[in-house]
Amino acid sequence: MKKDFIRLSALLFALLFVLTSVLACAEKPEPVGLDDTLPSSAEETGELVHADLPEMDMEGYTFSIYHWTLSGNAALYNDFYSEELDGDPINDAVYERNTRLQEQYDFEIDYAEDEYNVIRSNVTAVNRSNDDVYDLVLVRLADVSTNVLEGDFLDFYSDIPYVNFDKPYWDQDLCREMSFLDHLYLADSALSNEDVQETLSILFNKTMARDRNFPDFYEAVRHKEWTIDRLYEIVTSWEGDLNGDGNMSVNDDEYAMISGDFAIMSLFNGCGGTFATKDDDGYPEFTFPTEENYEITELIRDIMTHTNYANCDTSKESFDRVAMFGNNRSLFFSYSVKSIVALRGEEGIDFGILPTPLYDETQDHYSSYISKHGMGMFSVLRPEQDPDKIGFLLEALSAGSYYDLKKAYYDITLKTKMSRDDESQEMLDLIFEHRRIDWADVYDFSLFVSAYLRQLSRTPEKSIITIYASYENLIEQKMEEFYSTVERLDAE
């Protein structure tokens, strides 16, 4: 088996590495899961979850929301603002939630968007000018770490009243993952579905699976036989050189799988890999250099650099991933849940949805990764505002979204409107049951995680141990700088 060869070499290198490493290599823990079980209806539970808030008259207060966007690739739905009912389940759930709460507490909602690179700099400028134009800000998660470490945001744990993170409408595990040393500058709740939309999965082309007589992939998932070894076997044994010229081409041939670089993080997390964990005191620790992480990494590289795998970020030939998958020229397609909509709109594409494969059958559960490139989390700017009103309305809106908005997105839109078979609905439940994002992926100040993604798929001749060793001193330096920054934030 491929793992056996990798395991021996990784063990020998890892033993040598531990003797010389400056950073401590902790035993690899279980992944931190985003077990944000979606709510049942009040009729099913017998008890309605609600916010524990006092009566409040906001006296016409305007609650301003400032949200990142990316032209042509923004969030699928606006979860914060709707002008009128239009028959769409999500739009109508947003409109009805806002109308109900605005009437109850007498406030207005002002919603504005800016490009992801503009909003990041605007947040800093607003803080420098001490302007209070925004109440709630969502900077794209891929860009927000600088704002956090420059002290642009208030601490949810100590500065924002009324917010109750024990309530189920707060994404407690994601908030815990983004916290450090009893500080939380980024939060997430049922008010936003961006984390759901950006959950990564693997789609498979049913037509190609039938034509090539593959066993039932759904059954493989149910019996925990959908593993990284199984994916490796399919990719490496694939025969797709249709014109017989001895060269694979995205314009002429059929591939085992297509994706972008982001699939590396998805596969790594799915196998239980981690870059960073936190100790009992909440200190983040960089815990990547372990034998198991090295082994997982080498397997992923062997899959993604194989000629039967087309990576749009490294391919010399440009191609449209959706069209290629839809034209039955790739068996697997790593994609975000949000992007399923693009495929559901294409006639004639028969596909199913799978979770990211396990490392092996002994792994406790399937784990899905959330992409930092397509979601933002809530933050509150430091200028003198009214944190009482901000916390109150954020809590009210989050609680008010727990049933109707989540249900509209998950049950109606994903599981009914976009799923074409009962098995896909079952798979979506598995995909959403355990989700996470790695702290080191967001606070990538040593750029090792970025280099990991880039070099893993572009320099197959370079061992991951060598790549890590070239960043080791920088990682240690940046972690020390991070701890100093946190001490400074504590003193402010």
- Please tell us whether the domain made up of 59-197+374-418 is placed in CATH 3.40.190.10: yes
Q: How confident is the model at residue 487 (pLDDT cuts 50, 70, 90)?
A: confident
Please say whether the beta carbons of 174 and 156 come within 8 A.
no
Instruction: Look up the pTM and report it.
Output: 0.86
State the average pLDDT over residues 311-333: 88
The candidate with the shortest Cα–Cα distance to 409, out of 88, 47, 56, 72, is 88
Residue 215: partners with Cβ closer than 8 Å, 6 or more residues away: none
40-67 pLDDT, tens per residue? 444 444 467 889 999 999 999 999 999 9
Half-sphere exposure at residue 111, Cβ-oriented, CA atoms within 13 angstroms: 12
Question: What residues pair up with 309 in beta bridges, in sequence order?
Answer: 257
Domain positions in the chain:
7-32+200-369+436-491, 59-197+374-418
The DSSP code for 41 is P
Please say whether the beta carbons of 50 and 384 come within 8 A.
no
For residues 205 and 353, what is the distance between their CA atoms, to the nearest angstrom?
9
Please say whether the beta carbons of 126 and 133 come within 8 A.
yes
The candidate with the shortest Cα–Cα distance to 359, out of 461, 229, 182, is 229
Same CATH topology for 7-32+200-369+436-491 and 59-197+374-418: the answer is yes
pLDDT at 191: 96
For residues 354 and 227, what is the distance between their CA atoms, to the nearest angstrom?
11
Among all chains, which residue has been given the structure tokens 């700099």?
A: 121
326-342 pLDDT, tens per residue? 899 999 999 888 877 76
Q: What angle do CA 297, 300, 304 make, to 5 degrees?
A: 140
Q: What angle do CA 108, 111, 116 make, to 5 degrees?
A: 160
pLDDT at 248: 93
Domain 7-32+200-369+436-491 in this protein, CATH class: alpha beta
CA 285 to chain centre: 20
